[in-house]
């Protein structure tokens, strides 16, 4: 029997730290059996790695979030390089550009993004991209610094035309979709997802953020990736187990991870 995978969860979020077992068992009850835990800083990846040591169905990504670039020190960079050598780290993320909250450090954001891509290339890992209001600049950075081992857009909210443009880049580009896909007015994102071949798509929650329709206003959890999957199966007019198997293969192929 197939299962769902959440490719982007902030398991280290303060609100989940008190009861990770509860979180994980609710995920399992909803047939969500593999989780990629994303990190924004060292504190995050240390927590996520501790969980991954306990639970083999958790993988970890480590990187510096674009919103925090102004505080990075060379010690931080050494820490990142060291942790990326850990085989439990499947990708560098989440990294990228965010012009929505603050445009003070856009140049520095691009530098930090590029440096992390180069590091990912050196250590042979793919990257997980956070991009908000910065699709053009993200394209420029990727053009000048291709992610040799692949790039996954987390919660892709760009246009279908932009997705086409990204796919012309000489690298393996994929797109993850989460709860926002199910929002009533989000025709643009549904149009983007339907324009992509299934082997370019993955599912995620971005929990605790971006709960799907019906759960809005509540804290999101990995268990809810199931609703995104069911929604997509309906949109695609296909069976859930076909999607589950496709997304499982996509995960193995992109992250070079063996899954049951």
Single out the residue of 44, 204, 206, 221 in contact with Zn ion (rule: CB under 5 A).
Answer: 206
Query: Site for Zn ion (CB under 5 A): how many residues?
Result: 1
Nearest distance in Å: CB 94, Zn ion: 5
Q: In whole angstroms, what is the distance from residue 183 CA to residue 165 CA?
A: 25
Q: In whole angstroms, what is the distance from residue 83 CA to residue 57 CA?
A: 19
Q: In whole angstroms, what is the distance from residue 146 CA to residue 192 CA?
A: 22
* Residue closer to Zn ion (CB basis): 206 or 221: 206
Nearest distance in Å: CB 209, Zn ion: 7
Contact yes or no for 36/10 (Cβ under 8 A): no
* Residue closer to Zn ion (CB basis): 154 or 248: 154
Stretch near Zn ion under the rule CB under 5 A, chosen from 41-49, 79-87, 178-186, 204-212 = 204-212
Nearest distance in Å: CB 40, Zn ion: 7
Q: In whole angstroms, what is the distance from residue 209 CA to residue 221 CA?
A: 8
For the window 126-145, what string marks contact with Zn ion as x by the rule CB under 5 A? --------------------
Where do runs of H (alpha helix) occur along 30-134?
Answer: 42-54, 74-84, 106-122
Q: Which residues pair with 173 in a beta bridge?
A: 151
* Residue closer to Zn ion (CB basis): 216 or 249: 216
Listed in sequence order, the residues at least 6 apart from 43 whose beta carbon sits closer than 8 Å to its beta carbon are 12
* Residue closer to Zn ion (CB basis): 10 or 200: 10
* Residue closer to Zn ion (CB basis): 46 or 240: 46
Stretch near Zn ion under the rule CB under 5 A, chosen from 65-73, 135-143, 206-214, 231-239 = 206-214
Contact yes or no for 219/229 (Cβ under 8 A): no
- Is 98 an interacting residue with respect to Zn ion (CB under 5 A)? no
Stretch near Zn ion under the rule CB under 5 A, chosen from 81-89, 97-105, 205-213, 223-231 = 205-213
Element (H, E) at 206: none
Nearest distance in Å: CB 168, Zn ion: 26
Burial class of residue 75 in the structure, from the number of CB atoms within 10 Å of its CB (0-12 exposed, 13-18 middle, 19+ buried) = exposed
Stretch near Zn ion under the rule CB under 5 A, chosen from 59-67, 80-88, 202-210, 234-242 = 202-210
Nearest distance in Å: CB 55, Zn ion: 20
Stretch near Zn ion under the rule CB under 5 A, chosen from 53-61, 115-123, 200-208, 245-253 = 200-208
* Residue closer to Zn ion (CB basis): 84 or 129: 129
Backbone phi, then psi, for 215, in 5-degree steps? -125, 10
Listed in sequence order, the residues at least 6 apart from 252 whose beta carbon sits closer than 8 Å to its beta carbon are 258, 259
Task: Enumerate binding residues for Zn ion (CB under 5 A).
Answer: 206
């Amino acid at each position: 029997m197939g299962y769902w995978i959440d490719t982007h969860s902030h398991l280290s979020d303060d609100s989940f730290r008190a009861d990770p077992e509860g979180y994980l068992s609710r995920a399992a009850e909803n047939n969500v059996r593999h989780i990629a835990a994303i990190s924004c800083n060292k504190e995050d990846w240390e927590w996520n790695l501790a969980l991954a040591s306990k639970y083999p169905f958790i993988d970890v990504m480590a990187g510096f979030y674009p919103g925090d670039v102004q505080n990075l020190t060379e010690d931080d960079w050494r820490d990142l390089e060291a942790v990326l050598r850990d085989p439990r780290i499947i990708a560098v993320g989440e990294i990228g550009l965010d012009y929505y909250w603050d445009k003070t450090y856009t140049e520095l954001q691009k530098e930090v993004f590029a440096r992390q891509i180069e590091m990912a290339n050196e250590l042979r890992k793919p990257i997980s991209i956070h991009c908000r209001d910065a699709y053009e600049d993200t394209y420029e950075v990727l053009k000048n610094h291709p992610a040799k081992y692949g790039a996954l857009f987390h919660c892709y909210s760009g246009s279908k035309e932009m997705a086409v443009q990204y796919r012309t880049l000489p690298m393996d580009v994929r797109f993850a979709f989460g709860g926002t896909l199910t929002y009533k007015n989000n025709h643009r994102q549904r149009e983007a997802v339907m324009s992509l071949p299934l082997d370019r798509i993955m599912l995620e929650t971005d929990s605790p953020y971006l709960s799907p329709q019906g759960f809005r206003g509540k804290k999101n959890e990995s268990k809810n990736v199931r609703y995104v999957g069911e929604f997509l199966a309906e949109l695609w007019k296909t069976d859930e187990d076909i999607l589950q198997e496709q997304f499982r293969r996509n995960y193995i192929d992109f992250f070079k991870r063996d899954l049951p």
